[in-house]
Structure 1
Amino acid sequence: MTVDEYLRGVRRRDWEELESGTLRIAMVGLGWWTREQAIPAVRESKFCETTVAVSSSHEKAESVAEETETVTAGVTYDDFVEGTATDEYDAVYVCTPNAYHLPYVEAAADHGKAVLCEKPVEATVERAEKLVESAEEGDVPLMVAYRMQTDPQVRRMRELVREGAIGDPVAVHGHMGQQMLDVVSGDPDQWRLDPELAGYGATVMDLGIYPLNTARFVLDADPTSVTAQMHSENEAFRKVPDQHATFTIQFDNGAYAACTASQHSHLSGHLRIVGTEGELVLEPAFLGQTPQTLSLRQPNGQELEIDDGRRDLMGDEMTEEFDYFADRVLREVPPSPNGDHALVDMQALAAIYEAADRGERVSIE
């Protein structure tokens, strides 16, 4: 098979083995992402359905229940923790502010339910460790929602790197930027700007994690040290250090990454993997923009490009993620990326903020 033929098989679900079945999901946290992205993605999925809505108030939970045909129960966070409606769902999707992930994953583990937890897995390394430990002690599957890892084109990038299509990878360039206040309707009091809820910062925690983790996945490598610079200008970002940020990563395979992220910039994202014999470029990336094109450039002048035809990229990525999760849980196969994988990111994130604060390289143990 030629590289061109290989790339044109990009829509194949290389992970799917489940023939039939339905995973019933409780949506924990009913913010805009859950309502506008997760619930519609599950509606379009092959193996999932939303059956329980969990929020801070009965009114909000019941409102979402009324809007979603498959939902049979709308409950509060307290109800969820106490075990209300546990017969109505098989797994939970946790999409609350970062610092609230721990108690709801602990509750899910107590109830024996599989967990799909949004990234970053918690607000700090210490809380993340407790979260992963709770899932292990409860003997429940824990998957962290790095949706790029189930994106077909990202998976092809990983396989092409493995097959030597660009030689030995030596450098990664990644960027993710958006106008955050536009995304959250101009609310300067929203949780991503509150260190007690977001964690170490607003931009690298929320956006920089995308090129960081996707590079790890594509290279099949882990970070060993980082450097970073960051600053905040606008009044809305006064409590966080990173309205804008840049950071570098050294990986254990010898490759380096240079990444930028901003919560106050043009909506854009890309990922470039440079090797000794070519490069792979995915652009736009991370933010659900279409058309998304994967390019392979080689030294003989050959350049192959594929726009995989998706026009609802964010929704499609989320549907892939939920169906992959269901495929693994229903077949009783451990899902990936798991909690241990997410802890490496948490250690890297903590190191990036420390490196920016100290103005020097920080090792990751």
Structure 2
Amino acid sequence: MFESTFADAGRRDWAGDEGDGVDAGSDAVTRIATVGCGNYARSVSIPAMARGDYAAPTVVVSGDAEKRARLVDEFGVTAIDYDEYEAGAATDEYDAVYVATPNRLHLPHVETAADHGKHAICEKPLEATVERAERLVAACDDAGVRLMTAYRMQTDPVIRRLREFVAGGGIGDLQRAVGDFTFPVLGGDAGPDQWRLDGRLAGGGALYDVGVYPLNTARFLAGDDPVAVSATTRSPDPAFDEVDQHVDVRVEFGGGADADSADSDGWIGNVSASFSGHPNTSLELLGSDGRIAVRSAFQPGADREVTVETAEGTVKLAGVGADETVEEFDYFAHAVATGGDIEPDGADGLIDMRTLAAAQASARTGERIKL
């Protein structure tokens, strides 16, 4: 089973043998406007679009004239500010919008895209609150435009092969998933005056910004959704007085949310996330008949280090797959061009929003929260 699953670890299962009639580099590519040009958008997302087969960066939206000028020079894009974006400038130069602004600004920027009849790929989490995220999804539904939550890990070919392996019974019945994302948000030149530490803009701290990665990836691999959560948070550093610095979440899957206790049937996910400490990204799935461990699990463009253990033996994979950020935008662009399915859609993003909010409620009250 190892050989059949991982023989072609970089396969784009979403494109079909012939790209579903969309030629890479053709006029059918999806032109994307990037709204919000922070470091991640400039150094990771826009370059990934430029390297892709089905996506192309054509417009950038920023309130910083210097950033606009640099991006024009580097990528040959059209640059506009937020007022111009809202007014409809350059709408003939893009087909879809990538929203990469702080969480609480996602709603107005996606609403603007929908008003202009443009599809949207929106960074995770979808918004700062569940209510605002629901309005964001409704805006796209009402306008009849496509919406993708930017879960790049769902498009990583290695993660997709692992999902096939789990679905095929490769590790038996899933019993536990353990994931961690530790990101020292104050590292390097970064200081406390940043939107990630602003509770209103961010909605949450480590939980919202990086905890969503192991949560969503575990859901994706298992093909299952949470039914209840229990959580604790800690923020010993005064710099994190508005957001969680450390968070640990126990996520229950299966067994039904109406079970009387946390000991119901199903399986458990343990998710941890931190805004300080030694950098780490890892995910482990334990089943009745095997184990999967992924190191360098969530860094952009990292080579996944995968270990699969079953009764058949142990297989270790490294340096396989592809840059998942390139895959993310090509996946979205291809779906827009062909009308294909988008798995990480608005509904998928809302499941995580509700789970994150329940984890916050549990941390405040000390209670197990049913979903």
Residue equivalent to 2:318: 307
Q: Is 1:198 paired with 2:202?
A: yes
Residues 78-128 of structure 1, C-alpha deviation per residue, up to 9 Å, x if partnerless?
A: 111111110010111000000000001001001111101000000000000
Match of 1:135, as an amino acid? C
Q: Give the CA RMSD over aligned residues.
A: 1.5
SS state at 2:61 partner: strand
Residue equivalent to 1:178: 183
Report if aligned partners of 1:52, 1:74 keep a CA contact under 8 Å in 2. yes
Residue 283 (structure 1) aligned to one of 295, 298, 302:
295
Q: Is 1:256 paired with 2:259?
A: no
Displacement after TM superposition at 1:296 (Å): 1.2
Q: Is 1:324 paired with 2:336?
A: no
Report if aligned partners of 2:30, 2:333 keep a CA contact under 8 Å in 1. yes
Displacement after TM superposition at 1:60 (Å): 3.1
Following the alignment from structure 2 to structure 1, what is the Cα–Cα distance between the partners of residues 194 and 53? 34
Following the alignment from structure 1 to structure 2, what is the Cα–Cα distance between the partners of residues 291 and 156? 15
- Superposition pairs for residues 1-365 of structure 1, below 5 Å? 2-17=1-16, 18=19, 19-20=22-23, 21-69=28-76, 71=77, 73-182=78-187, 185-199=189-203, 201-240=204-243, 242-252=244-254, 254-288=266-300, 290-299=302-311, 302-309=313-320, 316-364=323-371
Following the alignment from structure 2 to structure 1, what is the Cα–Cα distance between the partners of residues 368 and 316? 37
Aligned sequence identity (%): 42
SS state at 1:122 partner: coil
Residue equivalent to 2:258: none
Evaluate the alpha carbon distance shift between residue 178 and residue 49 of structure 1 in structure 2; reply closer, same or farther with a 3 A threshold: same
Match of 2:364, as an amino acid? D
Following the alignment from structure 2 to structure 1, what is the Cα–Cα distance between the partners of residues 300 and 109? 27
SS state at 2:8 partner: coil
Report if aligned partners of 1:11, 1:308 keep a CA contact under 8 Å in 2. no
Task: Note the residue ranges of structure 2 that are not aligned, 5 or more in a row.
Answer: 256-265
Residues 137-180 of structure 1, C-alpha deviation per residue, up to 9 Å, x if partnerless?
A: 01000001000000111111111111001111111011110211
Q: Which runs of 4+ in 1 moved over 2 A?
A: 57-63, 288-291
Displacement after TM superposition at 1:268 (Å): 0.9
Following the alignment from structure 1 to structure 2, what is the Cα–Cα distance between the partners of residues 121 and 334? 19
Displacement after TM superposition at 1:299 (Å): 3.4
Following the alignment from structure 2 to structure 1, what is the Cα–Cα distance between the partners of residues 5 and 167? 13
Query: Please, what TM-score do these two structures have when normalized by structure 1?
Result: 0.93
SS state at 2:187 partner: helix
Query: Please, what TM-score do these two structures have when normalized by structure 2?
Result: 0.92
Deviates more, 1:146-155 or 1:19-28: 19-28
Following the alignment from structure 1 to structure 2, what is the Cα–Cα distance between the partners of residues 224 and 153? 27
Displacement after TM superposition at 1:193 (Å): 0.3
Displacement after TM superposition at 1:5 (Å): 4.1
Displacement after TM superposition at 1:43 (Å): 1.3
SS state at 1:181 partner: coil
